């Protein structure tokens, strides 16, 4: 919403500067988007007159002029190339030092082809005000000489643009803004009165409304008008707020739209068919509007029809067929109440953005339906002459009167301010609220017609899960409390929210409990562990390309957006690995990730048919850095497994409870991937090389390894309290074993069997070697393990050592069939 200060003065007596006005507007919720002072763009330009003009002695197309340009420039020589420069012409003069916005240069005194030139004569384009033209601007002969051009052209009128929140339809009018400013102490609101114009003849047209979206509509014919361009003041006003002047009749409706927030429409009576205009539902017609565009209507849209069809899209835009033009002599003026939701829905669907829609959508002042028509009548009679007919109407003005009660103590107990009841009441009265009753504790106000947002009493949408009693208690006072909050909001915004004293929140204890639950805080731990292991944390979109998602498995339609913003952002991701792989691909394409830094992770949601799950996902690709004596290498699945195990163990999962199975999801290399399980059923995570086919499909090269932790499946540690460790003073004894293992034997089983062979003595079992080769039977491996024996109370005897060795050998043989190599 734009307004100029001169227009504001029509409704508000004020002496404040534009800066003060803007600061106050910001404070009271009418946020200033910008201030445009056109005079600032044309600083230095003056009105002037060419006294003499002669041809330049050395240039055919130049003239040497003597110019009178006011104080200090009474008689200046200026060389000018414009063909229309001539003696006696009133012109715009830029003395040296003037910045010319149209060409971006600053005028200097100098010589042109040997002739002194002390300034420049300008076109409007050079001032940034007009189109390209053949010559310099020609001012009327009546123009004074030597005054600032901005003053002459009445450009010294700053225009303020404010954004209006959806609740404040009343502020989409200059009068509404003036009212708010007056209430905020920025001047006095001038009275606004419109006189009823008596109709001189019965209305030749009648209204009928059969659409529920139009409860009330009025209109009148004015005949014998003469349409044409509006007077300068009106044109300038409309232009100042960005509205293009069209003709007096149209300009009047636009003027009142801005001035009072009262949209109106004018029909050319002679272009209408029949004697009845009906507000009704559209019937899938195609309608050509005043903007020259054709709109295909539905059946919910509200239209105004005559005998020939649709003449106007109610509350949005008029029709081309019945629009006024310069030949219009009889005009029918419409003023109506239209349903905000109906207008919003049609406007949105047809993408019609008009000043009328903007106002109807937010709700207009019902009391202005008739007064707005009268104001328009007076203006049209003034500007276009003619005689007004009687007013015709249909429907009834709905009862808009509402009350709201303010308990004065609530200013402090909700608003946090201590102010006198008198001050609060006065503020509300300035906004148009009228006291109906008042006692020591409270006042009841009548809500003014233009404040659609106050005490509306919208329907509740209580949770379905609430029991009846609770729902009833919660809702019993809500209407009164909302109306009271509305009033407090008005009082506070005028009082100034900055004046409300800030108060620290009371704490029930000096030290607050942790903000994060144990489940939440472990995500931070995981991030730190991954970052410490060289992985960069990323944040990826929750949606990815459907095609990418398909590569990673289950992609249910239930997790596909109905209205994606782009085709590559349409599927909620089954795993963050998709984002990581795409990110790795981008980085490698930029030549990054070849120094061991092609490592990314994310802690974020994944989505499948059962819903949303939290995952830690990590990815390594590219190459490690080359070091002296150490060539670069690709990551291996062991890097990913190490990352995965570090994460799982950090979460407090006992290592002994874990096992690995080779049935990882299909996006991994089937022979180089695994699931880490706790017990037989629960999978905590996966790791491995990405499937070569997927690597290729994602535009990646080389080996890419990945891991995921299914965080929802990882339990919190059961017992935080630790038992004291047995720290023996005796040295551990290490014994190596090599087993010949058949093709199906897993190292995991060998290690586990060895560990369980003597649970008291065997503290640890480590794999130190795996060997395959021609010296072994086909498909067999030699598995070398180191068993660490920790005596507790006495040194191990040879007999005990021997017994443990035999137990290890027997346990491994029994569990896996692998035999000890001797």
Partner 1 sequence: MADDLDTLKNDTLAALTAAQDHAQWDAVRVGTLGKSGALTGLLKQLGKLDPQERKERGQALNRLRDELNAAVEVRGREIEEKALQARLQSERVDVTMPAPAISVGAIHPISRTIEEMSAIFGAMGFSVAEGPDIESQWHNFSALNTPEHHPARTEQDTFYLPPKPGQAEPRVLRTQTSGVQVRTMLGQEPPIRIIAPGRTYRADHDATHSPMFHQCEGLVIDRGITLGHLKGCLIEFLRVFFDKPDLPVRFRASYFPFTEPSMEVDIGWSKTTGEIGSGSDWLEVLGSGMVHPRVLANCGLDPAEWQGFAFGMGIERLAMLKNGIPDLRSFYDSDLRWLRHYGFSAFSPATLTEGV
Strands (E) across 575-630 are located at 599-608, 611-620
The backbone region for 679, taken as left when phi is positive above 0, alpha when psi lies in -120 to 50, beta otherwise, is left
Backbone angles phi, psi at 169, to 5 degrees: -55, -30
Least Å distance between CB 411 and partner 1?
A: 10
> Does 698 sit near partner 1 (CB under 8 A)?
no
Q: CB–CB of 603/574 below 8 Å?
A: no
Q: Which of 563, 610, 729, 795 binds partner 1 (CB under 8 A)?
A: 563
CA dist 580 and 38 (Å) reads 52
Report if residue 611 touches partner 1, rule: CB under 8 A. Answer: yes
Residues in region 302-361 near partner 1 by CB under 8 A: 341, 344-345, 348
CB of 601 to partner 1, least distance (A): 8
Choices 195-203, 475-483, 544-552, 712-720 (CB under 8 A): range interacting with partner 1:
475-483
For residue 664, what are its two tokens? 């990882």
* CA–CA distance, 445 with 183 (Å, rounded to integer): 16
- Give the residue with the Cβ less far from partner 1, 615 or 677: 615
Nearer to partner 1, 120 or 455 (CB): 455
By CB under 8 A, residue 565 contacts partner 1: yes
CA 629-630-635 angle, 5° bins: 180
Rounded to a whole number of angstroms, the minimum distance from the CB of residue 538 to partner 1 is 4
Nearer to partner 1, 345 or 733 (CB): 345
Residues 177 and 3 sit within 8 Å (Cβ to Cβ): yes
The yes or no reply on residue 504 touching partner 1 (CB under 8 A) is yes
CA angle, residues 198, 202, 203, in degrees to nearest 5:
100
CA distance 25 to 616: 49
Identify residues 37-76 at the interface with partner 1 (CB under 8 A): none
Residues 385-424 that bind partner 1 (CB under 8 A): 412-417
Q: Which of 104, 294, 399, 590 binds partner 1 (CB under 8 A)?
A: 590
276 CB burial (10 A radius; 0-12, 13-18, 19+): middle
Q: How would DSSP label each residue in 713-757?
A: GSPPPS--SPPPP---SSPPEEEEEEEEE-TT--HHHHHHHHHHT
Binding test (CB under 8 A) with partner 1, winner from 56, 168, 271, 522: 168
Options 24-32, 83-91, 221-229, 370-378: segment touching partner 1 (CB under 8 A): 24-32
Q: Can you give the C-alpha Rg of the chain in angstroms?
A: 42
Strands of 317-318's sheet, edge to edge? Answer: 206-209, 276-281, 302-306, 309-313, 317-318
> Is 166 among the residues that bind partner 1 (CB under 8 A)?
yes
Annotated binding site: 453, 486, 489-490
Tell me which residues in 757-786 interact with partner 1 (CB under 8 A). none
> CB of residue 404 vs partner 1: minimum separation in angstroms?
12
CB closer to partner 1, 156 vs 161? 161
Closest distance to partner 1 from the beta carbon of 626 (Å): 10
Indicate the pairing of strand 819-820 with strand 733-741: antiparallel
Beta partners for 3? 160
Which element (helix H / strand E) includes 48?
strand 46-55
Contact predicate 333/266, CB 8 Å: yes
Residue 269: CB atoms within 10 A of its CB come to 19
At its nearest, how many Å lie between partner 1 and the CB of residue 129?
A: 27
Segment near partner 1 (CB under 8 A); pick from 80-88, 166-174, 212-220, 292-300: 166-174
Under the binding rule (CB under 8 A), the answer on residue 610 touching partner 1 is no
Phi first, then psi: give them for residue 407, nearest 5 degrees.
Answer: -90, 120
What count of other Cβ atoms lies within 10 Å of the Cβ of residue 356? 25
Q: Indicate the helix (H) or strand (E) that contains 80.
A: strand 76-80
| Residues 431-460, interacting with partner 1 (CB under 8 A) | 458, 460
Which range of residues in 45-53, 400-408, 495-503, 754-762 is near partner 1 by CB under 8 A? Answer: 495-503
Give 802's contacts (C-beta < 8 A, 6+ positions apart).
none
3-class SS at 405?
A: strand
Interacting span for partner 1 (CB under 8 A) from 296-304, 440-448, 519-527, 765-773: 519-527
Piece of 22-30, 212-220, 230-238, 255-263 that binds partner 1 (CB under 8 A): 22-30
Q: Which residue lies nearer to partner 1 by CB, 129 or 431? A: 431
Residue 501 dihedral angles phi and psi, to the nearest 5°: -70, 130
Q: Is 586 a residue that touches partner 1 (CB under 8 A)? A: yes
Contact between 512 and partner 1 per CB under 8 A: yes
Known binding-site residue numbers for Mg(2+): 453, 486, 489-490
Six-digit token string for 763: 């503290």
Out of 240, 253, 311, 579, point to the residue binding partner 1 (CB under 8 A).
579
**DSSP-based three-state secondary structure for 205:** coil
Tell me how far apart the alpha carbons of residues 207 and 275 are, in angstroms, rounded to a whole number: 9
Q: How far apart are CA 497 and CA 772, in angstroms?
A: 79
> Which of 71, 566, 656, 799 lies at the binding interface for partner 1 (CB under 8 A)?
566
Least distance to partner 1, CB of residue 767, Å: 25
Size of the site for partner 1 (CB under 8 A): 115
Q: Which is nearer to partner 1, 156 or 479 (CB)?
A: 479
Is 169 a binding residue for partner 1 by CB under 8 A? The answer is: no
Nearer to partner 1, 136 or 340 (CB): 340
Is residue 520 near partner 1 by the rule CB under 8 A? yes
Residue 294 binds partner 1, judged by CB under 8 A: no
Give min distance, CB of 707 to partner 1, in A.
14
Distance CA(514)–CA(494), nearest Å, equals 40
Q: What residues does 616 pair with on adjacent strands?
A: 603, 709
Site for partner 1 in 529-558 (CB under 8 A): 529-543, 557-558
Residue with smaller CB distance to partner 1, 193 or 464? 464
By CB under 8 A, which span of 50-58, 305-313, 471-479, 812-820 interacts with partner 1?
A: 471-479
Give the contacts of 752 (CB within 8 A, at least 6 positions apart).
Answer: 815
Shortest reach from residue 568's CB to partner 1, in Å: 11
Shortest Å, Cβ 294 to partner 1: 23
**Closest CB 4 distance from partner 1, rounded Å:** 23
Q: Is 28 in the site for partner 1 (CB under 8 A)?
A: yes
């Amino acid at each position: 919403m734009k307004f100029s200060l001169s227009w504001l003065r029509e409704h508000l007596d004020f002496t404040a500067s534009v800066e003060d006005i803007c600061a106050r507007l910001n404070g009271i919720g009418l946020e200033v988007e910008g201030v445009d002072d056109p005079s600032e763009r044309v600083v230095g330009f003056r009105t002037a007159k060419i006294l003499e003009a002669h041809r330049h002695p050395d240039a055919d197309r130049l003239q040497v002029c003597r110019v009178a340009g006011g104080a200090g420039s009474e008689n200046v020589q200026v060389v000018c190339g414009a063909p229309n420069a001539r003696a006696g012409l009133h012109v715009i003069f830029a003395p040296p030092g003037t910045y010319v916005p149209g060409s971006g240069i600053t005028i200097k005194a100098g010589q042109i082809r040997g002739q002194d030139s002390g300034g420049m004569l300008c076109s409007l384009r050079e001032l940034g005000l007009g189109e390209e033209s053949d010559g310099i601007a020609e001012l009327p002969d009546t123009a004074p000489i030597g005054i600032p051009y901005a003053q002459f052209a009445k450009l010294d009128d700053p225009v303020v643009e404010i954004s209006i929140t959806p609740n404040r339809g009343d502020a989409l009018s200059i009068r509404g803004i003036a009212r708010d400013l007056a209430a905020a102490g920025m001047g006095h609101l001038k009275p606004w009165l419109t006189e009823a114009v008596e109709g001189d003849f019965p209305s030749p047209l009648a209204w009928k409304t059969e659409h529920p979206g139009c409860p009330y509509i009025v209109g009148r014919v004015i005949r014998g008008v003469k349409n044409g361009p509006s007077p300068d003041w009106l044109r300038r006003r409309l232009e100042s707020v960005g509205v293009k002047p069209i003709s007096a009749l149209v300009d009047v409706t636009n003027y009142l739209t801005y001035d009072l927030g009262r949209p109106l429409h004018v029909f050319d009576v002679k272009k209408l068919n029949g004697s009845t205009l009906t507000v009704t539902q559209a019937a899938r017609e195609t309608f050509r509007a005043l903007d020259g565009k054709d709109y295909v209507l539905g059946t919910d849209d509200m239209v105004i029809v005559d005998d020939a069809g649709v003449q106007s899209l109610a509350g949005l835009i008029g029709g081309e067929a019945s629009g006024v033009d310069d030949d219009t002599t009889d005009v029918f003026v419409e003023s109506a109440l239209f349903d905000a939701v109906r207008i919003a829905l049609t406007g949105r669907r047809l993408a019609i953005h008009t000043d009328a829609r903007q106002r109807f959508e937010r709700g207009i002042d019902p009391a202005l339906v008739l007064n707005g028509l009268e104001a328009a009548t007076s203006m049209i009679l003034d500007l276009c002459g003619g005689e007004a007919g009687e007013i015709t109407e249909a429907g009834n003005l709905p009862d808009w009167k509402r009350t709201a009660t303010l308990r004065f103590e609530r200013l402090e107990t909700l608003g946090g301010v201590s102010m006198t009841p008198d001050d609060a009441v006065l503020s509300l009265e300035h906004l148009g609220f009228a006291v109906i009753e008042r006692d020591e504790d409270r006042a009841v106000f009548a809500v003014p017609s233009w404040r659609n947002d106050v005490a509306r009493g919208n329907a509740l949408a209580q949770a379905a899960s609430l029991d009846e009693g609770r729902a009833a208690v919660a809702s019993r006072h809500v209407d009164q409390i909302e109306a009271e909050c509305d009033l407090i909001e008005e009082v506070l915004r005028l009082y100034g929210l900055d004046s409300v004293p800030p108060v620290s929140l009371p704490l029930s204890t000096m030290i607050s409990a942790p903000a994060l639950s144990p489940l939440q805080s472990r995500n931070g731990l995981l991030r730190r562990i991954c970052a410490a292991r060289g992985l960069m944390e990323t944040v990826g979109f929750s949606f990815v390309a459907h095609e990418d998602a398909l590569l990673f498995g289950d992609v249910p339609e239930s997790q596909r957006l109905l209205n994606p913003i782009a085709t590559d952002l349409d599927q909620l991701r089954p795993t963050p690995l998709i984002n990581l792989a795409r990110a790795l691909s981008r980085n490698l394409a930029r030549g990054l990730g070849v120094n061991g830094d092609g490592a990314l992770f994310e802690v974020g949601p994944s989505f499948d048919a059962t819903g949303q799950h939290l995952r830690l996902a990590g990815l390594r690709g590219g190459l490690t850095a080359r070091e002296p004596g150490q060539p670069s290498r690709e990551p291996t699945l062991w890097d990913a497994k190490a990352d995965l195990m570090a994460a799982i163990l950090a979460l407090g999962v006992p290592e002994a409870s874990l096992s690995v199975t080779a049935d990882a999801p299909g996006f991994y290399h089937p022979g180089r991937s695994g699931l880490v399980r706790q017990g037989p059923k629960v999978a905590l995570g996966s790791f491995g090389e990405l499937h070569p086919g997927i690597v290729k499909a994602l535009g990646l090269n080389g080996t890419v390894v990945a891991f995921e932790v299914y965080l929802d499946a990882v339990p919190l540690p059961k017992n935080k309290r630790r038992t004291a460790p047995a720290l023996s003073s005796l040295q551990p004894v290490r014994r190596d074993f090599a087993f010949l293992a058949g093709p199906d034997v897993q190292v995991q089983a060998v290690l586990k069997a060895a560990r369980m062979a003597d649970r008291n003595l065997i503290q640890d079992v480590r794999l130190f070697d795996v060997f395959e080769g021609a010296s072994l039977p086909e498909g067999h491996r030699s598995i070398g393990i180191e068993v660490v024996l920790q005596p507790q109370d006495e040194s191990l005897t040879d007999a005990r050592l021997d017994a443990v060795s035999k137990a290890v050998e027997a346990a491994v043989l029994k569990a896996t069939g692998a035999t000890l190599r001797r």
